[in-house]
Amino acid sequence: MLKPLILVTPSRSIKLMVKLVIKKKIRNFNKVIKVDGDKSLSIRSLLLGSQSFGKSVIYNLPKSGDILSTINGLKKLGVNIILKNNTCLIYGTGLNGFNYKKGISINAGNSGTFARLLLGLLIKSPYEIKILGDKSLSKRDFLRIISPLEKFGAKFKPNRKSKLPLKILGSEFLKPINYLENRGSAQCKSAVILAALNTPGKTIIKAKKSRNHTELFLKYLNLPIKIIAKKNYDLIKVNGEKQIKPFKYVIPGDISSSAFFIILTLLSKKSKLKIEKVNINPSRTGFVKIINKMGANVKFINKKTLYGEPIADIFVESQSSFKPINCPVKLNSNAIDEFLVIFLLASKASGVSVFKQLEELNKKESPRLKLASKILKKMGVKVKLGIGSIRIYGNPNLNIKKKIIINKYSKDHRIFMTSVVAALSLGGEWIIDDMESHTSSFPSFINILRKLGYEL
C-alpha cells in the first residue's frame, strides 16, 4: 500500500512535508487510462491565446503547478482568463497588448518553459518587469535566452547575470535577427520565435532538431512561418507583426506523463495498458524508439491529426526480458525528459547499456543524471557515471528487498515519479520525500495509480 507519512517541521508557520512509503509491488492490471494534457502545448496555447485578439478557448488544460503559474503570470500582465474545470477562456489583447502597472513581478514557479517563453513575448514591454522562480528554477541558466533577446533590442538587469531573478525592459525599436540554436533546446528556439512575432521584418533561425510544438502551433494559426527541414537542423523563417486570430484548441495527453505508466507496465507482471489520445509528435517519441529497441514493443493505434499535432492511443504490455542499448545520440533531444525511466528499463536489461552526451540532463530541475546514478546505486545496480554519460550494467533478475530512502532531490517531479515506478515494479521498501512535487507537472499521477488498483 502507498502510505503518505505527514511530518510537521518546526518553523514560524506550519509546513506539511509528505513522504510516500511504498512496501509492495503493484499487482497485475489490464486498464484503459487517460493522462493529463500535454504541458508543453498547454503553456504555448496560453501564451499564444494571450496574444490573440478576442476570446480563445482551450480544452483539457491540466491544473498542474506550471500551468497555474502561467495563468497567474498572464493575469498580472492584464489578460482576462477564466478557468472552469479543464476548460480555459482567454480574452487576448493582441500582440504586445499586455496592460500592467509599473514595477510588477511575475513568479514563474518551477516552470522553465513559461519563464523562458514569456521573455520572448516581453521584448516590447515599455516598463521593466521582474521574472522570479522557485529555488530550483533560480539555479537554471537563462543566458541562452538573454543573448538572442538582447540582439532583438531587449535589455536585462542586472547586467551579465545568467539566472533568475532578472528584469527585462523591452524596446520600441526591435530588429529581426539571424539566430543559431545549436543546443537542441526547444525553449530557446520557441522564445526567439515568439519574440519574432512582435518584431517587424523576417527573423531567421537555424536550429538543431528539437520539439517543434511552437512551429506547428503557428502553422495551425496560419501565421507567417516557414520551416525548411534539413538532415541535422531546421531553418525557420518568421515574419513578424501579424495579428493572431482567436482560436479553439484541445490539449492531447502528455507522452512524458505516459512514460511513467508505460515503464510501470513493462516492468510489472502480466499487465496490459492502453493510454488514450496522447500526443505522438515525432519530436517527442524518441523515448518510444529507444525502449522499443530494447524490446518493449510499444504500439501506437488509432492515429489521427488534431490541430496540427499527431495523436494516438498507446498500447503496451508486460515483457519478460529487455536488451541493452548503445543509445543513439540523435535520439537524445527527443527523449530528454524520459531518460530517468529509460534508465530503469536498462537496469533490468541483459547486458550493459550506454547513454552519452546527456549534459543537458544536469541542467533541468535538478542534476538528473547525477541523481539517477545515485538512485540506481541505491537499488543495487552497477553504474559508471561520466561527464554527460552513464553506463548501466543491467541485471534481469533485479528484485529489490531492502529499504531505499529518496530525499534531497530539489523536489524534482520526475525524480519523485521515477522513484515511485521503481518501487512499484522492482520491490523493496521505499520512503520518498516531497510527494507533492508531482503536482507541478502531473497532478493526476497518484489518482491514476489508484485506477490501476494500487490503493493510497
297: left (phi > 0), else alpha (psi -120 to 50), else beta?
left
Look up residue 105 and give its three cell numbers. Answer: 513581478
Residue with cell 530494447: 294
Choose the catalytic residue: 36, 254, 337, 434.
337
- Residue 446 makes CB contacts below 8 A (sequence gap 6+) with 2, 435, 438, 456
Question: Contacts from 451-455 at CB under 8 Å and sequence distance 24+?
Answer: 451/31, 451/33, 452/26, 452/29, 452/31, 452/33, 452/261, 452/264, 452/273, 453/26, 453/27, 453/29, 453/31, 454/1, 454/2, 454/26, 454/27, 454/424, 455/1, 455/2
Which has the closest alpha carbon to 265: 312, 297, 303, 301?
297
Which has the closest alpha carbon to 194: 66, 312, 186?
186
By DSSP bridging, strand 129-132 and strand 105-107 are: parallel
Four-residue CA torsion sign, 91, 249, 43, 450: positive
Look up residue 390 and give its three cell numbers. Answer: 552513464
Strand segments (E) across 160-199: 166-169, 178-181
Look up residue 44 and give its three cell numbers. Answer: 504555448
Q: What angle do CA 75, 50, 414 make, to 5 degrees?
A: 75
- Residue 429 makes CB contacts below 8 A (sequence gap 6+) with 21, 22, 23, 402, 403, 404
Which has the closest alpha carbon to 375: 445, 422, 426, 324?
422
Look up residue 66 and give its three cell numbers. Answer: 506550471
Specify whether the CB–CB gap between 381 and 395 falls below 8 A.
yes
Active site residue 36: no
Return the active site residues: 337
